A and B are shown apart, each in its own frame.
Chain A
Amino acid sequence: MLNLLDHLIVAPVVLPAFLAPLIVLWLRFDTNAQRVFSVFGMLAMLAIAVSLAMRASSGPPEVYRLGDWEAPFGIVLVLDQLSALMLVLNAVLGLAIVLYSIGSGWDKRGWHFHSLLQFQMMGINGAFLTGDAFNLFVFFEVLLIASYGLMIHSGGRDRLKAGVQYVVYNLAGSTLFLFALGTIYATTGTLNMADLADKVAQMPAADAGLLRVGAALLILVFAVKAALVPFQFWLPGTYTNAPGPVAALFAIMTKIGVYAIIRVYTLIFTPQSPVGTLAHDLLLPAAGVTLVIGMVGILGARDMGRAVAYSVIGSVGTMILAFAQFSEAATVAGLYYLVHSTLVAGALFLIVDMVKERRETGLVIEAQPPIRNQGLLASLFFMAAIGMAGMPPLSGFLGKLMILDVTRGQWWIWAAILVTSLIAIVGFARAGSTVFWKSESLAREEGDEMPTPEDGTSAGLAFVSVGGLLAAIVAWTVFAGPASRYMQNVAAQLYTPQAYISAVMEGAAQRAEAAAQAGAHPEAGDDHDVQEAPHTDAPAPAQADAH
């Protein structure tokens, strides 16, 4: 355990957990130092995430035992290819957001932006890495409480009101999560995901009634996070009123719900388990309605921010249509689209925020005299909107094509995806042409200056950040072949959950045996369980880490 590289798995959680208090306590009054630490923190996180992804791409899932407690007793972090992929995605988005918040001056409009951002990163990374269901709840709370702070960053009446709604909605979701976990613990007696998978698979179908209740409750919880219909109501108000970079960061928050759905329903409540095809049956119709509501919402929105928020809902619906198939090929398509839609939603929120900074009347979709950088912003919006609507040549098109390919024969999915794509195109075209093109006919009067963005310390950096995200989307399109091959490995690993389970559980058994043979426990007989917990009278080790 002395090898430092072994501990790299926990670094995505520990690094921001170390940086955030440092920034808030030591660098409170020094904005420049805060920025330096935050940017270097994100760069380091990206480097760590990439090296973890390279490590995970070969071999079975790696297990990190917190406090060196063996698996079902202590909390484990598990690094498999899906978690590694999500870590890289989060780090890329985080880096773009921290650059944008510096370039646009958003981080100076309230207190503690950078430390809250680091805490949020810590929660998100932890949620992607953890192999324990209750620990997943704890990391959800960490990322939520940071997001509450970020959501109301720099204050204002509407933002605070939307913030209250957001917090109350998510608190209700957290309560539901606890009810679900309590039900599952009461029926299985464990909350370790690998152990759960084992216990659930062995449960006789006749006894699984209560377990099915727990599984259904968990779907509801994750649907709240992912903003699936009928739990999407919190999203448009929140995303529209949140500060621009925060809304962009929230683009990955819905994906955490999607990640949790994939993880739990491919590992624990698989279609072969006594719970059966519950997830498929519930998610598929919900995703269809989500897709329609999201894309129609783009057309109906009277405000550009709201249009983008609805497009996030629509894209979640699209990817759940793929994931709810619960097949390897469909998961490949869904994952490819997930990465694309996270990046493009982040870019769209940042672009819309830049437009908002430069306009007199906010984001209402109506013609106005031209704004600063109009041409550049218009082309960036055009490009990102093409990506979001799923038109060629960007990766949104490829992603939707892959999803259509794997849902061949399910005519209503084809109809939903194709028709809503058209609606999204019309919606974005209407918003973009009204805001950017109609304004050309309204010349400014002599002496009427274009409003400059507030605190526009270095608008160039903001453009660099948006450009970086769009470049990532272009790269995702160009390297679609290697990317989808990588996704095939990810999906293949997801659909052989036995590797995950044995990585967590059998390692423990082997170590106990090795210890017994080495004479550490000469009396070790058949009762490994007692031997594996040498300090059974210590108060509940599993939760000592969770606090």
Chain B
Amino acid sequence: MEALVASAIGVMTAAGVYLILRLRVFPVVLGMTMLTYAVNVFLFASGRLAVNMPPVLREGVDTYTDPIPQALVLTAIVISFGMTSVVVMLALGAFVEAGDDYIDLDGEAEK
């Protein structure tokens, strides 16, 4: 399972980085989303991979999974989701104002 999760994070990060380096806004937003997925899974895994174990202390249970990364990842998901919607709105505004969705400041030269 470790190999599966690790390679999934790696592939998603690579795809995210590749897409962020594109010239148009849409692939960049997709890349950001991909990258935040990757980091969320990574944060989740930072408390070790444990299946079917409770995150809370309880009578009669002596193996636990770490609850902190779950709380961290919840915060990270909320923030990254909000940030993605901000960047979508901003990109839309820039597209309406400028008439193109190139990410660099002198986009016309590329047309």
Interface residues of A (CB under 8 A from B): 134, 138, 141, 145, 148, 152, 155-158, 160-165, 167-168, 171-172, 174-175, 178-179, 181-183, 185-186, 191, 237, 536-537, 539-540, 542-544, 546-547
Contact = CB atoms under 8 A, between A and B. Distances in A.
B107 A542 contact: no
Contact of B75 (A155, A160, A543): A543
A161 B108 CA distance: 12
Contacts of A186: 45-48
B98 A160 contact: yes
A540 B91 contact: no
A481 to B, nearest CB: 44
B68 A540 contact: yes
A161 B98 contact: yes
A178 to B, nearest CB: 4
Nearest to A547: B75
A179 B35 CA distance: 10
B86 A182 contact: no
B72 A134 contact: yes
A540 B67 contact: yes
Interface string B90-106: 11011001100001110
A134 B47 CA distance: 15
B28 to A, nearest CB: 6
B65 interface: no
A474 B22 CA distance: 47
Given A182-B42, A185-B47, A152 B79 contact: no
Contact of B56 (A168, A185, A536, A544): A536
B39 to A, nearest CB: 4
A542 B83 CA distance: 23
Contacts of A134: 72, 75
A168 B101 CA distance: 14
Interface of B: 20, 25, 28, 32, 35-36, 38-39, 42-43, 45-48, 56-58, 67-72, 74-76, 78-80, 82-84, 86-87, 90-91, 93-94, 97-98, 103-105, 107
Nearest to B25: A164
**Top 7 A-B pairs ranked by shortest CB distance?**
A543-B71, A540-B71, A160-B94, A186-B46, A182-B46, A157-B97, A178-B39
A145 B74 CA distance: 18
A163 B94 CA distance: 9
A164 B83 CA distance: 12
A317 B55 CA distance: 45
B93 A152 contact: yes
B43 A178 contact: yes
A162 B102 CA distance: 11
Contact of B68 (A161, A536, A542): A542
Contacts of B90: 148, 152, 160, 163-164, 167
A172 B46 contact: no
Given A148-B86, A182-B43, 11 more contacts: A134-B72, A141-B79, A160-B94, A161-B98, A172-B35, A174-B83, A178-B76, A181-B72, A182-B45, A191-B68, A537-B58
Nearest to A537: B56
A438 B75 CA distance: 56
Contacts of B75: 134, 138, 543, 546-547
Contacts of B25: 164
B93 A145 contact: no
Residue in A167, A171, A191 whose Cβ sees the most chain B Cβ within 10 Å: A171
Contact of B103 (A168, A172, A179, A544): A168
Contacts of A168: 20, 28, 32, 87, 103
A134 B76 CA distance: 10
A539 B86 contact: no
B57 A536 contact: yes
A156 B97 contact: yes
Nearest to B29: A168
Contacts of B43: 178, 181-182
A134 B43 CA distance: 12
A172 B103 CA distance: 15
Nearest to A179: B39
Given A172-B20, A537-B56, A542 B71 contact: yes
Nearest to B39: A178
Contact of A167 (B46, B87, B105): B87
Contacts of B86: 145, 148, 167
Contacts of A181: 43, 72
Given A145-B86, A163-B90, A539 B71 contact: yes
B81 to A, nearest CB: 12
Contacts of B69: 182, 185
B25 to A, nearest CB: 6
Contacts of A542: 68, 71
A144 B12 CA distance: 25
A175 B57 contact: no
A160 B39 CA distance: 27
B35 A175 contact: yes
